Structure 1
Amino acid sequence: MLQIEKKIILKTLVHVLILGIILFPVFFVISNKSEVIRPNFHLSIPNSSIVIFYLINIIWLIPKLIFERKYLKYALFILLFLALFLFFQYTFFDFIPIEGDRPPPRFQMRRNQMFFLFPSIFRFVLIMALGTAIELIAKFEQEHKRYDELERQKIIKELSFLKNQFNPHFLFNALNNIYSLASKKSENTTPSIMLLSNMLRYVLYESGKEKVPIHQEIDFIKNYINLEKLKFSDSNAPQIKCYFSLLNENYAVEPLLFITLIENAFKHGISYVTPSFILISFTENNDEIALSVINSVGKRDDENINTNKTGVGLENLKKRLELLYPGKHSFRQIYENSTFKSFLKIKK
Structure 2
Amino acid sequence: MFFLLFAFLTFSSSVRIFQKLKREEDINQRYQHEKLNAELMLLRQQVNPHFLFNSLNNIHSLANRKSDLTSEAIMKLSSILRYMLSENPSSEIPVSREIAMIENYIDLQKLWMKNAIKVDLVVENVKENHYIEPFILNPLVENAFKYGALPGIESVISIHLRIIDDWLHVQISNPVLREKLSAAGSMGIGVNNVIRRLELCYPGNYKMENNRIGDMYQINLSMKLKSNELYSN
In the superposition, the TM-score normalised over structure 1's length comes to 0.58
Question: Cα–Cα, structure 1 residues 213 and 139, in superposed 2: closer, same or farther, change >3 Å?
Answer: farther
Which structure 2 residues correspond to residues 22-61 of structure 1 after superposition, within 5 A? Answer: 50=4, 52-60=5-13
Number of positions where the alignment pairs a residue of Structure 1 with one of Structure 2: 224
> Residue 215 of structure 1 aligns with which residue?
96
Q: Which amino acid aligns with 2:169?
A: A
Which of these residues, 137, 156, 168, is aligned with residue 258 of structure 1?
137
> Residue 324 of structure 1 aligns with which residue?
201
Which structure 2 residues correspond to residues 62-101 of structure 1 after superposition, within 5 A? Answer: 62-63=15-16, 67=17
Distance 2:165 2:215 in 1: 34
Please list every run of 5 or more consecutive structure 2 residues that lacks an aligned counterpart in the other structure. Answer: 226-233
Question: Cα–Cα, structure 1 residues 239 and 144, in superposed 2: closer, same or farther, change >3 Å?
Answer: same
> Residue 83 of structure 2 aligns with which residue?
202
Alignment pair present for 1:277 and 2:156: yes
Distance 1:272 1:178 in 2: 13
Structure ranking higher in helix proportion: 1
Q: Secondary structure at the match of 2:89?
A: coil
Alignment pair present for 1:307 and 2:188: no
Which of these residues, 40, 62, 74, is aligned with residue 193 of structure 1?
74
Question: Cα–Cα, structure 1 residues 205 and 330, in superposed 2: closer, same or farther, change >3 Å?
Answer: same
Distance 2:72 2:154 in 1: 26
Structure ranking higher in strand proportion: 2
Which of these residues, 230, 242, 249, is aligned with residue 128 of structure 2?
249
Which structure 2 residues correspond to residues 102-113 of structure 1 after superposition, within 5 A? Answer: none
Q: 1:33-62, CA deviations, whole angstroms, 9 ceiling, x for partnerless residues?
A: xxxxxxxxxxxx68xx62x44543344465
Amino-acid identity (%): 33
Q: Secondary structure at the match of 1:200?
A: helix
Distance 1:205 1:54 in 2: 62
Question: Cα–Cα, structure 1 residues 61 and 326, in superposed 2: closer, same or farther, change >3 Å?
Answer: closer
Alignment pair present for 1:339 and 2:220: no
Distance 1:61 1:209 in 2: 41
- Tell me how large the CA RMSD over aligned residues is: 2.4
Q: 1:63-94, CA deviations, whole angstroms, 9 ceiling, x for partnerless residues?
A: 3xxx3xxxxxxxxxxxxxxxxxxxxxxxxxxx
State the structure with more CA Rg.
Answer: 1
Question: Cα–Cα, structure 1 residues 62 and 228, in superposed 2: closer, same or farther, change >3 Å?
Answer: same
The Cα shift of 1:229 comes to 1.1
- Residues 207 and 256 in structure 1, CA contact (< 8 A), matched pair in contact too: no
> Residue 165 of structure 1 aligns with which residue?
46
Question: Cα–Cα, structure 1 residues 273 and 336, in superposed 2: closer, same or farther, change >3 Å?
Answer: farther
Please list every run of 5 or more consecutive structure 1 residues that lacks an aligned counterpart in the other structure. Answer: 1-44, 68-135
The Cα shift of 1:144 comes to 4.5
Q: Secondary structure at the match of 1:230?
A: helix
The Cα shift of 1:329 comes to 0.7
Q: Which amino acid aligns with 1:196?
A: L
Distance 1:276 1:58 in 2: 75
Question: Cα–Cα, structure 1 residues 283 and 145, in superposed 2: closer, same or farther, change >3 Å?
Answer: farther
Distance 1:210 1:231 in 2: 33
Question: Cα–Cα, structure 1 residues 247 and 312, in superposed 2: closer, same or farther, change >3 Å?
Answer: closer
> Residue 174 of structure 1 aligns with which residue?
55
